[in-house]
Amino acid sequence: MPVDPSLAGRTFPATEVYEVSREKIAEFAEATGSGFDGQAAPVTFPIVVAFPAMNDLMDDPEVGMELHRVVHGEQRFTCARPVVPGDRLTAELTVETVRQIGGADIISTRTEITDSEGAQVCTAYATLVHRGEEP
């Protein structure tokens, strides 16, 4: 069943606060072989914070996505500053557009990641491709 195009423009509730530890950044950096100076997290680290927001979208029964049909099509980060240990971050996801192309739903999302002062740290843009059922 296709995703309802009226999903476009919907903003999901912000996620619970994610407390960024030095250990979590070190684990992520180690898993990707990246250097870690004790401060700046790798630029793709905010996906850890955005992931629960993306799951809220994909798990919402009203949205009607089936997880095994979802492919990550595109990802972009724009960062005001790197994530650092001690950050208390929330993620708020908005569905920007829903397009139907060749039987697939192309869902473009924007997730704003903000710190405890309400300052924007990073915006994570993800495009999810929800493949249609095989004929």
Partner 1 sequence: MTVATFQVDDALPTQSYQVTRTNLVKYAGASGDFNPIHWSDRVAASVGLPGVIAHGMFTMALAARALDSWAGAPGRVREFGCKFTKPVVVPDDDEGVTVIVDGTVRSLTDDAVHISLEVTCGDQKVLGAPKAVLAR
Which part of the chain contacts partner 1 (CB under 8 A), choosing from 7-15, 24-32, 90-98, 109-117?
24-32
Nearer to partner 1, 12 or 36 (CB): 36
Please give the Cα distance from 135 to 123 (Å, whole number).
37
- Quote the CA–CA distance of 47 and 5 in Å, as a whole number: 25
Pick the closest to residue 71 from 1, 129, 126 (CA basis). Answer: 129
> Which one of residues 14, 79, 104, 106 is an interface residue with partner 1 (CB under 8 A)?
79
Cβ closer to partner 1: 60 or 74?
A: 74
Which positions touch partner 1 (CB under 8 A)? Answer: 24, 27-37, 39-44, 47-48, 51, 68, 71-79, 82, 125
